[in-house]
Structure 1
């Protein structure tokens, strides 16, 4: 689409007509010569004046009007607007904190087909599906076991994030669970985030038994720093022993940070939990648009130069002196 940056320039279109109407005519000063025998060649002078090139004068007038239109078009600054370029800008940082302790290697997760798979394998599938549903969010990854460590900072490079998630193994972080440290590492990971919303999705199959930072104290710090935490207890709620789930602690963490606590016992339930978190955290990416512009002012200027050369050529032909014809008296004298 073509638009003009200065459309008011077209208001100058009737300016030549106003000048023609109100300005006095231009009279070229000429020196006059009077001779006593003017009547002898008066008929020749009248013959030359009667051969005025009326058609050529109209052509020149039309060329000058076109020149004026082209100059106005150049002054109005035409630009060609190309198709807009859109870019989604995320407004939220999401961190997935996944328990990588040795207990995640247990093959007790039932699939819809009735098979039993590792807990971490089920988490990978559900987390990968969640990442695929959030194309406009910056997502990071934290793993924890004996200690917590960042695996990927929040970014829009989801392909790289999925590759890192696929390379995680149960037990690679030790046999214990540092739940509070996972929250602390996430806070450090998001310390320089300028986005208005920050979310942590914390998944574990056990209870905290190794953190240097108490999980509830870490939750209070997260609340003060506007970090919302959704917790997922993955396993059986009635389990007992060293690997039992501290569902009450996870619920307190979620409540203090204005998040939600979930419990998932199989693969289908885990996928439903991630879908519920996806619904609780609607995508609110902003759209940045850029409109490429191509300047077209040179086009009317080039056309105006071409018309100006054409006018000069026409004017030169008009002013070319006619070839004088020999009079009948001279032909008889020569005979």
Structure 2
């Protein structure tokens, strides 16, 4: 990464001298001719006289600006970071089944569907894990890898933004989602391998049971945190009716027992989020439980640029003095 900086930026305060120099120039101007002879004056129009009279001041001010920039020590360089130890490898398994349409969460005091809040909270979680490789599995009736493990979190965030309800079908294949996440993590050599499973239902699709997938994860040292989202009992759904769109209360069954067993089988933990605040707190807790201890070394190389400003500044100063003593000399 290239960068440009000033080592002593406070030196720019010296630029405040320029208005003072201009003021002093106008105040102390003597009644004199800025030419070395009257013959020169006769060949010069009044407008040229006024312009030439300002040349020493202009050169002086430019010289001051360049010298001040030089004193601020401009530097151009390159910076690179060498990571010595890797962080945590995390696979996010997100439920996008039809039940995620339930509007029992709020955003800015307005009811929104569950997936909208999940995307916001997960996005904040990803932002806080700078040195961790994170990937994403999406599941409904089917399960697939939406984003492989990556340190480029911008790509992951783009995939997360485009996530829609029903993209993988309306059912819930929890076991399949866990199996795919395990496959992505099992052969990696990392300090810690984690799956964060988020769902609002029960496993009703796929060919592998959630507990079987959890047992396989445990053999590879993969820890699973499970998060159940949604209010208890009935939840409001927006449906189209003869009189327009309206809320209808429907039951959404969540298998909390299985989610708890999945977490316990792998040394993880089960959480239940019934509103936006509790979901944020849950991901905050997981963030603390799986802290990365990353060590890195910053390599910086820079080149001093002050000579490119100091030398022209001094040349302008010498030129201003030379002109003031020759062609633009003032005669008392």
Give the TM-score taking structure 2 as reference length. Answer: 0.60
> Residue 17 of structure 1 corresponds to which residue in structure 2?
none
Asked whether 1:94 is paired with 2:90, we answer: yes
Structure scoring higher RCO (CA < 8 A, sep ≥ 6) equals 2
Q: More strand per residue: 1 or 2?
A: 2
Deviation for aligned residue 1:87: 3.0
State how far apart, in whole Å, the 2-side matches of 1:181 and 1:285 are.
32
> Residue 283 of structure 1 corresponds to which residue in structure 2?
292
> Residue 256 of structure 1 corresponds to which residue in structure 2?
265
> Residue 220 of structure 1 corresponds to which residue in structure 2?
215
* Correspondence list, 1:1-335, <5 A: 85-88=80-83, 89-111=85-107, 113-238=108-233, 243-288=252-297
Flag the structure with larger Rg: 1
Pair 1:279–1:246, CA change in 2 (3 A): same
| Secondary structure of residue in 2 paired with 1:170 | coil
Deviation for aligned residue 1:284: 1.6
State how far apart, in whole Å, the 2-side matches of 1:239 and 1:249 are.
20
Deviation for aligned residue 1:175: 0.7
State how far apart, in whole Å, the 2-side matches of 1:143 and 1:212 are.
16
State how far apart, in whole Å, the 1-side matches of 2:126 and 2:277 are.
17
Pair 1:84–1:253, CA change in 2 (3 A): same
Deviation for aligned residue 1:292: 7.0
Deviation for aligned residue 1:237: 3.6
> Residue 39 of structure 1 corresponds to which residue in structure 2?
none
Give the TM-score taking structure 1 as reference length. Answer: 0.59
| Secondary structure of residue in 1 paired with 2:112 | strand
State how far apart, in whole Å, the 1-side matches of 2:113 and 2:230 are.
11
Deviation for aligned residue 1:274: 0.6
| Secondary structure of residue in 1 paired with 2:283 | helix
Deviation for aligned residue 1:191: 3.4
Aligned-residue RMSD, C-alpha = 2.4
State how far apart, in whole Å, the 2-side matches of 1:234 and 1:270 are.
8
Deviations 1:152-202 (CA, angstroms, capped at 9, x unpaired):
111110001000000010011111000001110001112332223100000
Deviations 1:1-59 (CA, angstroms, capped at 9, x unpaired):
xxxxxxxxxxxxxxxxxxxxxxxxxxxxxxxxxxxxxxxxxxxxxxxxxxxxxxxxxxx
Conservation of the 8 A alpha-carbon contact between 2:104 and 2:231: no
Conservation of the 8 A alpha-carbon contact between 2:195 and 2:222: yes
State how far apart, in whole Å, the 1-side matches of 2:156 and 2:111 are.
26
> Residue 31 of structure 2 corresponds to which residue in structure 1?
none
Conservation of the 8 A alpha-carbon contact between 1:205 and 1:235: yes
| Secondary structure of residue in 1 paired with 2:141 | coil
Unaligned runs of 5+ in 2: 1-76, 236-249, 303-332
Conservation of the 8 A alpha-carbon contact between 2:91 and 2:135: yes
Pair 1:234–1:216, CA change in 2 (3 A): same
Unaligned runs of 5+ in 1: 1-81, 294-335
